[in-house]
Structure 1
Amino acid sequence: MKRFLLSVLVCLACFAVPAFAQGAFKVLVVAIPNRYHHDYAVVAKPQFERMAQVHGFDLTWSWNSTPFDGDLSPYAAVVLLNTPGDELKGAQRGTLEAYVRAGGGVMAVHRALIFNPPGEWPWFEKLIGRSFRVHPMVQTATVRVDDPSFPATFNLPSRWIWTDEWYEFHDPLMPGLRTVLSVDESTYDPTRIWPGQVARGMGKDHPVAWYHAYDGGRVFVTALGHTPALYDDPAYLAHLYGGLWWTATGRGIDDRH
């Protein structure tokens, strides 16, 4: 009988503990579906949950912007997963600014890099570091590792075949951006775009992932991640977690390179 009661108590205790509790750090992922990026989220969510289990951090997932109505200070990093800054309204923007100024980390993924209308929230555009210009149709290309010392590249080959939207950007808005990955424009057609639009590429230097220090916080940006199928790719998930780990902790940069 005593053994039975002990088993019951152990089971109840297990049910009382929230998922991913007592992790090394806490992460908020904001994944707001939008016109061009909605079906990715049901694939990405279980992958981030598994990432949290494997790497031992606490995960909060949100389908909307309500977390920015509260306190972000418990989070070591906020991930804007295909969620641009224009999704935040009014005081929510001030909440994110205060979080970063207090040392918080932000990881911006793919659609989060596009802010509409441009110029409405300059602080956020500087957080990203570059403003979006245009992108051609999805194509396969070769990605180059420009900074092998950064954790988002540790599990990637020096040249990586990848299929995505190759965002083009205007000149940097901030000094000190460190390019992590770039795309080789000779391996795809930068002009292949829809009728009525024009894309011309960026030339030899075409960054697709970078990081920098901004307004007291850490920021990692990756333009990769357009199609849902990419969230089943171990290399892409390793790229995301490497960037997230640095964003949350500031650790992992290999100074030997």
Structure 2
Amino acid sequence: MKLRLLSLSFLALLAAPAMRAEQFSALLFSKTAGWHHDSINTGVIAIQALGKLHDFNVFWTEDANRVFNDKELAKYKVVIFLCTTGDVLNDQQQAAFEKFIKNGGGFVGIHSASDTEYEWPWYTKMVGRMFHIHPVVQTATMKVEDYNFPGMDRFAKRFLFTEEWYEFGPPQSQALKYLLSVDEKTYKPAANWGTKQGKGMGDFHPTSWYQNYDGGRAFYTAMGHLPATYLDANFIHHIYGGIYWAATGNEFHAE
């Protein structure tokens, strides 16, 4: 009898992992057709660790053919574009991704996700603002614009951060809600690439935002250029907040 009970207990332990289900599944996509950031590998490891910490599944690929179709996208609640660049999806893949968002899916764009798919108007409107130019990497002062969003609770009201400060073009959507900005008075925003120049964005220079978009949800942060940034606990918590909101729609209130 005791042996039988022990056997049943052992079988139950074996079955337990199979019975447990993660909160949700996330597709992590890092294909580049332009500049390839050194931070991608560190970012992948960090987001995979977030999945273990917060109990969600992460599947990472750079193969658009493998995942950007109706059958595969149906497995996920959120798609994360990690430092993607250039034209990364063909017409059929774009159509599948649009359908995914329209069916209530979530999008998270990190850093050069705004330097991706310039010729796809639906995508540029979802990202919200597109990359124009950046100066050299510098330390600057950032400001919290809104604490009432997941992942914003650990930032000081103003704090130092070192980044490749993206200057953005005009907003592609009027529904953007801003989370973070950088104070241009605390660094040198001017940049000259010969064929392209920049002088900053003025008094308000946003670096992170979100919006409800076309039936789904979209979050973007411009931070994430340096590999070591993904070792910053506050930044990684910020990324998780975006993933969590985009996947679930759940809100957070600081007070």
Deviations 1:186-232 (A, max 9, x none): 01000155566522000011000000111111000101000111111
Q: In the alignment, does 2:62 pair up with 1:68?
A: no
Amino acid aligned to 1:137: V
Question: Percent of pairs identical after alignment?
Answer: 38
The root-mean-square deviation of aligned C-alpha atoms, in Å, is 2.5
Determine helix, strand or coil for the equivalent of 1:236: helix
Deviation >4 Å, runs of 4+: 1-14, 192-197
Change in Cα spacing, 1:192 to 1:173, as seen in structure 2 (3 Å) is closer
- What's 2:30 paired with? 31
**Separation in structure 1 between the aligned mates of residue 80 and residue 142 of structure 2, nearest angstrom:** 23
- CA–CA separation in structure 2 for the residues paired with 1:174 and 1:196: 27
8 Å Cα contact 2:27-2:60 kept in structure 1: yes
Q: What is the aligned partner in structure 1 of residue 204 from structure 2?
A: 205
* Kept in 2: contact 1:28–1:78 (CA 8 A): yes
CA contact (8 A) 1:183 1:206 kept: yes
1:152 aligns to what SS in structure 2? coil
Distance 1:72 1:223 in 2: 25
Question: Taking structure 1 as reference, are residues 5 and 175 closer, same or farther at Cα in structure 2, changes over 3 Å only?
Answer: same
More displaced 10-residue stretch of structure 1: 143-152 or 60-69: 60-69
Distance 1:42 1:130 in 2: 25
Alpha-carbon deviations, 1:86-142, whole Å to 9, x = none? 2011200001100001111100011111135x3x21111111111221111111111
Give 1:36-51 correspondences, 5 Å limit: 36-51=35-50
Matched, 1:245 2:244: yes
Matches of 2:86 and 2:254 in 1, distance apart?
32
Counterpart Cα distance in 2 of 1:255 and 1:152: 10
Residue 166 of structure 1: aligned partner: 165
Post-superposition shift, 1:40? 1.9
Is the counterpart of residue 182 in structure 1 residue 178 in structure 2? no
Unaligned runs of 5+ in 1: none
Normalising by structure 1, we get a TM-score of 0.88
User: Does structure 2 conserve the Cα–Cα contact (< 8 Å) formed by 1:85 and 1:124?
Assistant: no
Please give the alpha-carbon distance, in whole angstroms, between the structure 2 residues aligned to 1:11 and 1:176: 49
- Provide, for residues 212-253 of structure 1, a one-character-per-residue CA deviation record: whole Å limited to 9, x for no partner: 111111000101000111111111111101111111111133
Quick one: distance in 1 between partners of 2:193 and 2:31? 26
Of 106-115 and 55-64, deviating more is: 55-64
The letter of the residue matching 2:237 is A
Q: Does 1:112 align with 2:113?
A: yes
